[in-house]
Structure 1
Amino acid sequence: MAISAAREAVLQQAADHLLTARRTATPIHSLPEAVAPTTEEESFAIQDILALAYAPIGGWKVGAQSPEGVPFFCPLPAAWMGANGAVFRGMTHRLRGIEAEIAFRVGTALPPRATPYTREEVIVAMDGAYPAIEVLESSYVNPLAMPREHMLADLAIHGGFVAGPRIPDWQEIDWSQEHVVVTTDGVVRIENTGSNPGGTDLVRLLVYLANEGSTRTGGLKAGDWITTGSWTGVTWTSEGTEVVARFNNAGAVSLQFERTTH
């Protein structure tokens, strides 16, 4: 069902609340009930407003709640992306949550078209797969306590991204057996095997984004990064922490949060 113009104006107010909370590092406990999204469609409409505010967009975060679940996705602001080993600075890094992921980079654009892209076409369009860390931040004081629609509206609590070296022969990896270990300052915090909640058929998520997702993405562009869901859940860290995510076949990636002086 299409969102009415009147409701779009209300959702703009919700986006304004989220933008102000992020930009001033003044988190809110919740959105006012009158402007809060009540459906996924409304959450995605708020995401699209935020995407304009944070443009340019450097890619997309896609995932699913189960291997058979319908994927969901949100934009990734290019300004929030860093190189492998990057130091994340600034007052907007408040929560410092991290997730270990596998990301892809688009090598050949996949513009919208009437005929859906096949799995093989999507694979060929990727320039490769990469180990990655997603940083989680939020407009909310306690994002994990919020209704799902509220979390989705807040860019699915995305706050940053780094990718490691390109994975050789990524198509030969049995993702169901892939093991990952996350350490913070050298201490093991979590390790898992084949643990992406959206399943280990990562290409399924890419195909969805290229086809059903194209009405919102405008098509996938060369150079876009695509993250495909957490293998480790959320690990909360603190200022000054160095984070390393190491996959047994997919390689390693790291970042650090700046230690502030008071």
Structure 2
Amino acid sequence: MTDSADRTDAANAAADPLAPLVAALCAARRSGRTVPTALLADRVPDTAAGYRVQDAVAGQLGWWQARHRAGHWKAGAGDTQAIPAYAPLPPAGVWSGTPAAPADATGQGFHLIGVEAEVAFRLGRPVGPAEAAAIATADDLADWLDALCVSIELVDSRWDEGLAAPDALKLADLLCHGGLVLGEWQPYRPWIGHDWAGQACSLEVDGQEVAQGAGGHPCGSPLWVIPHWLRHATADGGTLAAGTVVTTGAWLGVHFARPGQTLTVRFAGLGAARVRV
């Protein structure tokens, strides 16, 4: 690198401390290679900065022009006392995958393949800031959600350190998002009042069950995080379109798969999602 380029980079970093982090993540996604976190972690002083990085990377890579235009999101929290976290998802990494027609996520260049069993929900009506402010709890969602489905969150990282990277950098990197697989949609209304605490789910790898449980969502119900997500996603003044999808947190923790394996997540009564990685 020339002295002139060094001075330009230094000037850009001084003008915007987040610029080197945005540049590193964009470079990682364009090249398909991970990058080190050294000298970058302290550039994310708070969660607001992490979300600004998400938006800046999306803008530079042309995913969307504003966060409320993202059609798919991930949201979650460690429990109901924790501050939830969110990430809008690149559209190219969202697939439909059912037992009858599995998604094909082979050849995606994953650095690691983490697997999370989740439930995704879909908005049936547009939600703007005023509507989001009025949706205080999960009980208020009945008029706003129209469908739900089993989903598989594929976990990956753009950092050399993978899931051991600092939390601030994992937030900036779309919460370690690698891909999202959506099963068959079902109408939401029959699931109002469902006993999520007793919901059974399982994960299979190449047809062999490797994890199962009843309940297990860290917030008790996957619906808990949705009102929080709606307020976050509309905080820029925009409106989420009808049809926007959010996946809501892992039920069985994170398990890891190898290239070539077929992964199936089942939720009793709700259906299944399947993907080959």
TM-score normalized by the length of structure 2:
0.83
Relative to 1, partners in 2 of residues 1:30 and 1:80: Cα closer, same or farther, differing over 3 Å? same
Q: Secondary structure at the match of 1:211?
A: helix
Q: Percent identity?
A: 28
Structure 1 residues 87-166: aligned runs within 5 Å: 87-113=104-130, 116-118=133-135, 119=137, 120-166=139-185
Which one of 29, 51, 55 corresponds to residue 44 of structure 1?
A: 51
Q: Secondary structure at the match of 2:168?
A: helix
Whether 1:253 and 2:273 are equivalent positions in the alignment is yes
TM-score normalized by the length of structure 1:
0.87
Contact 2:13 2:19 in 1 (8 A): no
Relative to 1, partners in 2 of residues 1:131 and 1:115: Cα closer, same or farther, differing over 3 Å? closer
Aligned to 2:34: 27
Which one of 210, 213, 216 corresponds to residue 195 of structure 1?
A: 216
Structure 1 stretch 106-115 or stretch 151-160: which is displaced more? Answer: 106-115
Aligned to 1:181: 202
Contact 1:11 1:35 in 2 (8 A): no
Q: Secondary structure at the match of 1:108?
A: coil
Q: Secondary structure at the match of 1:150?
A: helix
Deviation at 1:138, TM superposition (A): 1.1
Structure 1 stretch 11-20 or stretch 187-196: which is displaced more? Answer: 187-196
Q: 2:208 is aligned with what amino acid?
A: V
Q: 1:38 is aligned with what amino acid?
A: P
Structure 1 stretch 44-53 or stretch 216-225: which is displaced more? Answer: 216-225
Aligned to 1:240: 260
Root-mean-square deviation (CA), in Å?
Answer: 2.3
Measured in 1, the distance between the counterparts of 2:172 and 2:230 equals 21
Measured in 1, the distance between the counterparts of 2:131 and 2:13 equals 31
Relative to 1, partners in 2 of residues 1:41 and 1:108: Cα closer, same or farther, differing over 3 Å? same
Measured in 1, the distance between the counterparts of 2:267 and 2:251 equals 10
Deviation at 1:172, TM superposition (A): 4.1
More helix by proportion, 1 or 2? 2
Structure 1 stretch 200-209 or stretch 241-250: which is displaced more? Answer: 200-209
Which one of 65, 73, 81 corresponds to residue 68 of structure 1?
A: 81
Q: 1:77 is aligned with what amino acid?
A: P
Contact 1:22 1:92 in 2 (8 A): no
The number of residue pairs the alignment matches comes to: 252
Q: 1:14 is aligned with what amino acid?
A: L
Deviation at 1:204, TM superposition (A): 2.5
Measured in 2, the distance between the counterparts of 1:115 and 1:150 equals 28
Measured in 2, the distance between the counterparts of 1:192 and 1:217 equals 40
Contact 2:184 2:271 in 1 (8 A): yes
Structure with max Cα Rg: 2
